[in-house]
Every structure is written in C-alpha cells, then in structure tokens.
Amino acid sequence: MAVPGFTGGTLDRAEPIRTNPEAYAAALTDWRGRLLALDGLEPRVDAEGRLEWTSRAEAPEGAELVLLGVGDGRPHFAALVPGVRATRSPRLMMALADLAPGEAATYAAARSLLDWHARHRFCANCGHGTGLHRAGWGRACPNCSAEHFPRVDPVVIMIAEHDDRALLGRQPSFPPGRYSALAGFLEVGESIEEAVAREIAEEAGVRVTNVRYVASQPWPFPSQLMIACVAQADSDALTLDTEELEDAIWVSRDEVRRVLAGEPGRFLPPPPIAIAHTLLTAWAGG
C-alpha cells in the first residue's frame, strides 16, 4: 500500500529535551540549531523538494522557538511569530505535492504546532495569558497553573462498497471534476465504526456494516487525524444531503485503477498527498 502523505518524518521528537527546561535552554543556545524557513506558515522548498532551513540566529525579532526535534545531532526549530495566521494557498498545495518523502511530515508538525499556539494564547480555565511550555509542545498558565496541549481532531474518511464498486462524493468546494471519499469528524461518545456508519448515512443515505480500518494520516489544516476505512453497504440507493454533497457516484475498481493511472474517466482523483488517494489505491488493489 502507498505510504500516506504527511507521514514518515525523520526528526527525533526528543522527549527528554521537551520535558527538561535546562535541556531545552541548552538547545536554544546550540550554534548548530536549524530554523525552518517559512513565509507566514507556508514552507520554502528547494529544487530537490526539500524543506529549506536557516540558522537559528535568523529567527524574527520577538519570535519564540518551538523545538520540532533533533536530526543529525542538531536541534531543529520553528519560529512562533506574533500575528502570523495560517493560509492555504494554491502555491502551498503545489509545494506539498513536490516535497520529498518525509519532508511533508516535518512541515505538518510545524504548521499544526504554530497554528495551535497562535489560536491558544489564553488559558481556557481562567482566561489569563499563557506561555510556551515543554519546548513549545504545550502552553502553561502562570495564573492557575493549568497546562494546555495541542489538540488532534479525529476525522473518519471512508469508502462504502457495494457490488465491487466504491461510493465517492463531490463537495461544491472541490476543483471541477474531483470526487473523493466521504469524510466527517468523530463526535463525542462515538467509536470510529459508529462515526463511519453515521457519516455515510447522513451524507449519502446509505447504511453500512463491517467497517474495516485501512490507514491513518495527520492533516495539518489545522490539526486533524484522518482515519481511513472501508465499509460494506446494504444497498446502492443514494439519498444525498445537498448541504454536504453536490453529487455522488459508484465507481468500479477498473475505473478507479484507470483514473489513478492518469487515464481519463468520469472523475478526477484526490491528490496523492491526501489519504483519500491512499485509500482509493488500496481499495482498487483489492
């Protein structure tokens, strides 16, 4: 099976440094430290598809440094710059598509961390301003001593199959012709299997059983864990929630194989960096 995008990072996340303030302080003064080069929260990428890194000393004035991990014996950081907000431009998606294996995983961690810090500067317990904690992998409140850590929001993304065909849907925001797996957030008090069945029923009116896990992927927009599954549909009759889906189609394995190989078909597949592409590839391969 194809390796899901945003996985395969090569940095050691360095838990001993993250939990030791003295070790983190030493890493901050290590002259070998590297800083991820970003334009806002978008990566700079060289001609070989590698993330660009600069000297730690080139951090913008007023920035705090978040430890991404250790690689080649050197600490690697990302700069938390006040006022920077996340964007998701066409240039960003093109850059991600060209990244070398493992590079997107490093960027995903950096983007999710920096975006979380930008949106969580105040304590959810007492409202007081918080400060960097655990080398940037948390925030701490000096007023009530509460500790806060980055959230990961679980999302199920799934294919319903019936008579050797897969159900794909299209949202109005998709590029022209694109169809993908259905997806939705897990809700409180719900298992992965229950979320898969609920989302397919809500969006397409299809009842499913026999939910099988395939793979997972971090998705840094802003910080989700995509959980890919396949489920067996009781029927191929569709009743679409038009608030969620513009259209839905059943596609055969042969059609999916041809489209993934770049041949013309009824739909355009999701981009390779998305786990929906991985899921379709796994399903088409049987």
Mean pLDDT of the chain: 96
pLDDT digits (tens, 9 = 90+) for 146-157: 999 999 999 999
Q: What is the pLDDT of residue 25?
A: 97
Please tell me the predicted confidence (pLDDT) of residue 172.
Answer: 95
User: Residue 257's pLDDT is what?
Assistant: 97
Q: For the chain, list the domains and their CATH numbers.
A: 15-148 (3.90.79.20), 153-284 (3.90.79.10)
Q: DSSP states of 186-232 as a string?
A: --TT--HHHHHHHHHHHHH---EEEEEEEEEEEETTTTEEEEEEEEE
Whether 50 shows a pLDDT value over 90: the answer reads yes
pLDDT at residue 66 above 90? yes
pLDDT of 69-108, one tens digit each?
999 999 999 999 998 888 888 889 888 988 988 999 999 9
Average pLDDT in the 188-209 region? 98
Asked if residues 24 and 135 have their Cβ atoms less than 8 Å apart, the reply is yes
Quickly count: other Cβ atoms within 10 Å of residue 165's Cβ: 18
Average pLDDT over residues 219-241: 97
pLDDT of amino acid 286: 85
Express as a percent the part of the chain with pLDDT over 90: 90
Cβ 123 vs Cβ 129: under 8 Å: yes
List all residues 6 or more positions away from 136 whose beta carbon is below 8 Å from its beta carbon: 64, 65, 66, 67, 78, 80, 113, 117
Task: Say yes or no to pLDDT of 171 above 80.
Answer: yes
